Amino acid sequence: MDFPVRPEELTPVWLTAALRAAGAIDTARVVSCQVGPLAEKQGFYGQVVRVIPIYDRAEAGTPSALIAKFASIVPEMRKRAVPAYVREVRFYQQVADRTSLPVPDCYFAGIDIETGLHLLLLEDMAPARSGSRVRGCTPAQAELAIRAIAEFHAFWWENPQLSEFDWLENGSSDPDADTQQAQHERWWPEFLRRAGHRVPDPIREIGERLGPRRAAIRRHVFGSPPQTLIHHDFQLDNLVFGDPEGSEAFAVLDWQLASCGRGTWDAAYFLSENLTEEANQAAGMDLLRLYWQVLTDHGVQGYGFNQCLLDFRYCLLQRFSALISTIAAMPFSEEQRRLHVDVLLPRNSAAILDSRAGDLLE
């Protein structure tokens, strides 16, 4: 491999070569660098550090800070995460420059597929900061996020270029209906043990009926047309904003789950769990209609709002299914438990009830 695979391997010589190849510097040279952890972006599957390069001369436009993403130092975790690493690296190599969606500039992207060892060297978006699902977001930030992802979806809507990306996930390899029902029956009791106190009776009834329909719902969301390129984890922790009104820097981060599917998945995931219940009741349907209108304005045809709303309801049920398995199976920290059980699940439940998504199971 011709690139560093651990933070301690980053050197001024390598950084100089990488930044020059990317066109980020011209005559300047990196003479030293400071590397420190980026605590707020540490995840299960990798290491993220901030790199402060020191140059030998002043040069307009030289990046004052960089974000470097590496694979996990745990071999077993790294092996499990190889597909996710590949998706994010390939996104920056093959997709990021093709559309107008704001993402960090990428100065280097490389991966060894056999081992999962990789490096992404990205623009540091500071002082813009990631959002918080717990706090929610302002109406201006929500509108900005929905407009941006709708324009992105419109560009990739049934786009033949999607066939070039063999690294994208789709619904074609999902387990069959019997397997998915068995998984639900295994997870449901543990889910109730861990989160039953936050499950109102109407949602409990929906969960009891969900098992036999899990496969069909997932196939509808991720395995049937119309297909577009979706982020799949479009939530505030993966978005950065310059200010509460969303008038400055904005970018979408973390593309490890990028996949094909119905674009409404990203909209439903964002609207149902990243707005407070009160904000979603007040503006959620208007924002969904905005999402559909932006699709239409950017050339998507044959996709009426009624179909968008139907897809939204299916996506809410698919997200409920995912929350059941996640809450039942994941070894959460207390902070993660509170997020999923006390914040995300009640918001998803409220959205399901408000939209009458449970009626789709009758």
Q: Does the predicted TM-score (pTM) go above 0.85?
A: yes
* Residues facing 70 on adjacent strands: 47, 119
Per-residue pLDDT tens digits for 313-345: 999 999 999 999 999 998 878 888 999 999 999
CATH number at residue 227: 3.90.1200.10
Q: How far apart are the first and last CA of the chain?
A: 55
Residue 30 scores a pLDDT above 80: yes
Q: Which residues of 99-121 are buried (b: 16+ CB within 10 A; e: fewer)?
A: bebebbbbbbbbbeeeebbbbbb
Is 2 within the bounds of a domain?
no
Top-confidence range, 41-55, 86-100, 270-284:
86-100
Neighbours of 262 (CB within 10 A): 28
CATH number at residue 68: 3.30.200.20
Is 1 within the bounds of a domain?
no
Residue 236: exposure state from Cβ atoms within 10 A (0-12, 13-18, ≥19)? buried
Q: Are residues 253 and 208 in the same domain?
A: yes
pLDDT grade, residue 63 (50/70/90)? very high
Give CA–CA dist 265/232, Å, rounded: 7
What are the Cα distances from residue 308, in Å, to 30, 115, 175, 254, 312? 50, 40, 26, 26, 6
Q: How many domains does the chain have?
A: 2
| Per-residue pLDDT at 243 | 66
Per-residue pLDDT tens digits for 240-287: 998 655 456 799 999 999 999 999 999 999 999 998 888 888 888 999
Tell me the residue range of the domain where 326 lies: 129-361
Give CA–CA dist 48/67, Å, rounded: 7
Q: What percent of the chain has pLDDT over 90?
A: 79
For range 224-252, the mean pLDDT: 86
For range 166-183, the mean pLDDT: 83
